[in-house]
Amino acid sequence: MESVIEKLKEHLNHAVIGQPDLTNELLVALIANGHVLLEGPPGIAKTTAAKALANAIDSRFQRIQFTPDLLPGDVTGSDIYQQETGQFSFVPGPIMNDIVLADEINRAPAKVQSALLEAMGERQVTVGNHSYSLPNLFFVIATQNPIEQEGTYPLPEAQLDRFMMKIHLGYPSAESELEVLRMVRQQDLHKTLTHATQALCTPADILALQQKALSLYMSESVEHYIVQLVMATRHPEHYLGEAVNGGSLIEFGASPRGTLALDRCARANALLQGRDFVTPDDVRQVALPVLRHRIITSFEAQASGLSEDELLNRLISHVPAL
């Protein structure tokens, strides 16, 4: 299993240059058996990272380009009347695959975004009076541009909570961008010689990694640390004090789903580091992508220019690991 992890790391770091945090967090979400939301400006390899991961696994992959005129049935599938038989039959939609890339998910209205809720939460889709199970390896990689850009729709809080991790992407360094420039130029020069990437592992390998991560040893002190971090997002005044007018800096804290996600991601991170036990450092390393989309900052925090990450970093620095 360690060889599978190393192969996936090497493949992703080669495909996505200068984004080591992205590649690590993508693998954490995959091994933690959750879904991931990538947010950043256009052109910084969000789609490239998703495709590179899908190519490395011998699985069924489908990309869905979200647009304002997309319908829920375009995602989940629909019942189609068959004239030959006089009956309706279910035609599966693109969501019925192992790995699904929901590209620019925030360009579709809320009705279409909500079509993913059942699929991501229950791993099934319901069309008409029938429910259809999704594959065992069902992994959604969604990308979105920053909300303030024109023509986008904010994701509902209920759907955001279905994502195990929300990964923020920034621009690469000058050195990394130079390396990207040279690599793409070489690829363009030798297009006729390139071949499809050979899969490095199978869905069964990923499912085995997911089970192994769940079996890692976690002490009671680490469990309590996870719970206390989540509790701190609900009662930040115990650690950060109160806002100027006596209110809280965080209006809504993380849900119990956040606690479960923090546990799973910490385990996956420990496995990626080659350990068979979980430490508080594993929890801290995944805390931001796991919790940043599960809290809602107050007006006072926004007026003070405090972002979700800044508030979470303050909480992490104040909550002791027992």
Average pLDDT over residues 247-257: 87
Least confident of 90-99, 150-159, 285-294: 150-159
- The answer to whether residues 147 and 41 touch, using CB atoms and an 8 Å cutoff, is no
Residue pLDDT, tens place only, 63-77: 999 988 888 889 998
* The pLDDT of residue 164 is above 80: yes
Instruction: Give the confidence band of 149 by pLDDT, cuts at 50, 70, 90.
Output: low
Instruction: Give the confidence band of 121 by pLDDT, cuts at 50, 70, 90.
Output: confident
Instruction: Give the confidence band of 196 by pLDDT, cuts at 50, 70, 90.
Output: low
pLDDT of the residue at 194:
43
Tell me what percent of the chain is helix, strand and coil, each rounded to the nearest 5: 50, 15, 35
The domain made up of 216-318 is a member of CATH 1.10.443.10: no
Average pLDDT over residues 2-22: 86
Residue pLDDT, tens place only, 282-302: 999 999 999 999 999 888 888
Q: Quick one: what percent of the chain has pLDDT higher than 90? A: 41
Tell me the C-alpha distance between 212 and 267, whole Å: 9
Tell me the C-alpha distance between 272 and 266, whole Å: 10
* The pLDDT of residue 39 is above 50: yes
Instruction: Give the confidence band of 17 by pLDDT, cuts at 50, 70, 90.
Output: confident
Sequence spans of domains, the chain: 2-170, 216-318
* The pLDDT of residue 151 is above 80: no
Average pLDDT over residues 199-226: 94
Q: Any idea which architecture 2-170 has in CATH?
A: 3-Layer(aba) Sandwich (3.40)
Tell me the C-alpha distance between 261 and 105, whole Å: 22
Residue pLDDT, tens place only, 214-240: 999 999 999 999 999 999 999 888 877
Phi, psi of 143 (to 5 degrees): -120, 150
Q: Quick one: what percent of the chain has pLDDT higher than 70? A: 93
pLDDT of the residue at 185:
81
Q: Following DSSP, what letter does each residue of 79-138 receive, concatenated?
A: EEEETTTTEEEEEE-TTSSSEEEEETGGGS-HHHHTHHHHHHHHSEEEETTEEEEPPSS-
* The pLDDT of residue 257 is above 70: yes
* The pLDDT of residue 193 is above 50: no
Tell me the C-alpha distance between 297 and 262, whole Å: 20
In order of 19, 200, 263, 305, 319, the CA distances from 310 in angstroms are 21, 38, 22, 9, 14
Least confident of 75-89, 140-154, 166-180: 140-154
